């Protein structure tokens, strides 16, 4: 596929392409252009040219169009899901689910748009009034990672478009195809040219060119903390607004009075979703010693029910996206094994027919993990969970918070007072108590500490694409 600029397909200026591989078997799915600084410029110029008219489009019309785009996504869900499945390797039900969630997010952004209001403070003298209104920021650059290409894009794109901003999106090198197809679908649904452009290429080249360019007023980024810091440093030159959704190393605390069956099921479902390639997944667990062995047994049983989906086959977990992502799970598992941890299940690359050509790693539970092991210190972004006993849940809380990250936390505790104290003590942007349901599209999502800056989703997301403006009126009051 080519890039999607100014309402049409565009091969870019570099004359070179990069391949998109199917992580299940390493086969070539397609190629995309390696975008250059000149392509970044062309995309930004297109978005800038479209901004004036899009900003002037009444909110009701922008909302109606957003709803039409969401409906078009649903109508063409299989087409999008086929591309997601091919570029990401995730089993098909999860790919279809991502389309549903992304379309739902767009609807929520649209509904929030209708609720936006300007305000007028009271108490001013006759002949003076102040209206506090909100303007769209302008052109937005949306840079996304590989793991949920459409949902993570929609947190940015849906909010920005409804707010009246125009967008240049730069998807991850591994998974650009679903984003490109989305641009075509939105264009065919009636979104004016230039409102949503998609460029492809590397973060170091076209990504950096987008971030340093003077046109964009905001960079909305989801990805690793290292890239987030590089982007923040580059964006400061022109004081661009930033939303950064970065890495996590999220902890769960299991108290002795917890419903252990529910806790084990929740951790299994959540910790291994998308083969663990998931920023706010459970990555480490601190369990009160009294129930440690019981909990391990239950967690091992629920995890044992998960299956790997071989190339072309069905199952719960697909392959990891690439060698770099695979290497972390592999290294953390060997490190823990060498330092004396108990590997309850998994721990080594899956091999055999259907697995040999992809980076398949089975769900892995590392018990008796200690603080000198990488699993308790670094984000995995793969299907590995470290588990350690603690004397009290509050010791677990201290260790949970002893991290540069602060994305999410999880507490399992029947005693509501104690559970609430633990939730309130967690240094994390989102905390779950007693089960892990899907994050609400209406609730703010984002990280504390080095997990990010700002919040996405719901009205919080839409508002982050708007800027306050105070308009002071003076007029003659009629006698």
Which whole-number Å values give the CA distances from 270 to 24, 186, 206, in the listed order?
A: 22, 31, 34
Query: Which residue among 66, 172, 296, 422 contacts ligand NAD (CB under 6 A)?
Result: 172
CB of 174 to ligand NAD, least distance (A): 7
Site string for ligand NAD, 103-132 (x = CB under 6 A): ------------------------------
DSSP β-ladder status, 241-245 and 218-222: parallel
Query: Which residue among 63, 88, 102, 143 contacts ligand NAD (CB under 6 A)?
Result: 143
- Helices and strands: H and E segment counts in the chain: 14, 21
CB of 161 to ligand NAD, least distance (A): 20
CB 390 within 8 A of CB 324: no
- Tell me, yes or no, if 279 is annotated catalytic: yes
CA distance linking residue 77 with residue 182, whole number of Å? 10
Note whether 245 binds ligand NAD by CB under 6 A: yes
CB of 299 to ligand NAD, least distance (A): 23
Residue count, binding to ligand NAD (CB under 6 A): 32
CA distance linking residue 176 with residue 276, whole number of Å? 20
- Give the nearer residue to ligand NAD in terms of CB position, either 65 or 169: 169
Query: Which residue among 203, 358, 382, 461 contacts ligand NAD (CB under 6 A)?
Result: 203
What residues are paired with 245 via a beta bridge?
222, 452
- Tell me, yes or no, if 293 is annotated catalytic: no
CA distance linking residue 143 with residue 244, whole number of Å? 10
Query: Which residue among 113, 149, 223, 346 contacts ligand NAD (CB under 6 A)?
Result: 223
Q: Which of residues 380-409 bind ligand NAD (CB under 6 A)?
A: 381, 407
CA distance linking residue 157 with residue 154, whole number of Å? 5
Element (DSSP H or E) covering residue 466: strand 466-474
Strands (E), 72-182: 128-136, 139-143, 166-170
CA distance linking residue 1 with residue 297, whole number of Å? 48
Which whole-number Å values give the CA distances from 249 to 57, 274, 449, in the listed order?
A: 42, 16, 12
User: Which of the stretches 170-178, 298-306, 362-370, 435-443 binds ligand NAD when contact is defined by CB under 6 A?
Assistant: 170-178
- Give the nearer residue to ligand NAD in terms of CB position, either 310 or 429: 429
Q: Give the rounded distance of the alpha carbon of 438 from its chain centre.
A: 14
CA distance linking residue 289 with residue 279, whole number of Å? 28
Backbone angles phi and psi of 8, in degrees to 5: -145, 165
Task: Region of 6 please: left (phi>0), alpha (psi -120 to 50) or beta.
Answer: left
User: Which of the stretches 8-16, 156-164, 184-192, 446-454 binds ligand NAD when contact is defined by CB under 6 A?
Assistant: 446-454
Catalytic pick among 87, 112, 173, 245 = 245
- Give the nearer residue to ligand NAD in terms of CB position, either 184 or 245: 245
CB of 450 to ligand NAD, least distance (A): 11
3-state secondary structure at position 2 = coil
Site string for ligand NAD, 266-295 (x = CB under 6 A): -------------x----------------
- Give the nearer residue to ligand NAD in terms of CB position, either 104 or 224: 224
Note whether 447 binds ligand NAD by CB under 6 A: yes
Which whole-number Å values give the CA distances from 70 to 165, 409, 437, in the listed order?
A: 18, 31, 23
CB of 32 to ligand NAD, least distance (A): 12
Query: Which residue among 44, 230, 255, 267 contacts ligand NAD (CB under 6 A)?
Result: 230
Catalytically active residues are: 245, 279
**Contact residues for ligand NAD, defined by CB under 6 A:** 143-147, 152, 170, 172-173, 202-204, 207-208, 211, 222-224, 227, 230-231, 245-248, 279, 379, 381, 407, 447, 451-452
């Amino acid at each position: 596929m080519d890039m999607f600029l100014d309402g049409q397909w565009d091969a870019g200026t570099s004359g070179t392409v990069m391949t998109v591989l199917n992580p299940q078997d390493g086969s070539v799915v397609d190629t995309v252009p390696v975008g250059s600084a000149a392509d970044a410029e062309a995309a930004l110029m297109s978005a800038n040219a479209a901004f004036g008219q899009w900003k002037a489009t009444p909110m009701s019309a922008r909302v109606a169009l957003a709803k039409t785009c969401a409906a078009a996504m649903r109508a063409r869900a299989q087409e999008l899901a086929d591309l997601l499945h091919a570029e990401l390797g995730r089993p098909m039900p999860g790919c279809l689910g991502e389309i549903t969630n992304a379309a739902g997010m767009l609807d929520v952004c649209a509904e929030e748009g209708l609720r936006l209001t300007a305000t007028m403070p009271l108490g001013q003298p006759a002949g003076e009034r102040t209206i506090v209104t909100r303007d769209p920021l302008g052109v937005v650059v949306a840079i996304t990672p590989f793991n949920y290409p459409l949902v993570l894009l929609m947190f940015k794109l849906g909010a920005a478009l409804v707010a009246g901003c125009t967008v240049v999106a730069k998807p991850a090198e591994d998974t650009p195809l679903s984003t490109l197809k989305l641009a075509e679908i939105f264009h065919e649904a009636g979104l004016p040219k230039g409102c949503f452009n998609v460029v492809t290429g590397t973060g170091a080249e076209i990504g950096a060119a987008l971030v340093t360019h003077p046109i964009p007023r905001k960079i909305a980024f989801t990805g690793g903390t290292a890239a987030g810091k590089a982007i923040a440093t580059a964006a400061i030159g022109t004081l661009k607004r930033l939303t950064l959704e970065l890495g996590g190393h999220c902890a769960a605390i299991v108290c002795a009075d917890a419903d252990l069956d529910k806790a084990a099921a929740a951790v299994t479902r959540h910790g291994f979703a998308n083969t663990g390639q998931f920023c706010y997944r459970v990555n480490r667990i601190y369990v009160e010693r009294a129930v440690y062995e019981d909990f391990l047994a239950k967690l091992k049983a629920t995890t044992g029910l998960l299956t790997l989906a071989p190339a072309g086959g069905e199952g719960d977990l697909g392959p990891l996206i690439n060698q770099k992502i695979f290497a972390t799970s592999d290294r953390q598992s060997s490190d823990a094994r060498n330092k004396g941890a108990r590997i309850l299940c998994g721990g080594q690359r899956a091999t055999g027919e259907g697995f040999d050509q992809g980076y398949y790693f089975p769900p892995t539970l590392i018990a008796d993990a200690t603080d000198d092991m990488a699993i308790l210190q670094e984000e995995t972004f793969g299907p590995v969970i470290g588990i350690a006993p603690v004397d009290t849940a509050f010791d677990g809380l201290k260790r949970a918070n002893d991290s540069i990250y602060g994305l999410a936390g999880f507490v399992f505790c029947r005693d509501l007072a104690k559970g609430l104290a633990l939730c309130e003590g967690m240094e994390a942007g989102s905390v779950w108590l007693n089960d892990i349901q899907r994050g609400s599209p209406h609730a703010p999502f984002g990280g504390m500490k080095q997990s990010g800056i700002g919040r996405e989703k719901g009205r919080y997301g839409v508002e982050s694409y708007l800027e306050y403006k105070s308009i002071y009126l003076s007029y003659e009051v009629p006698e």
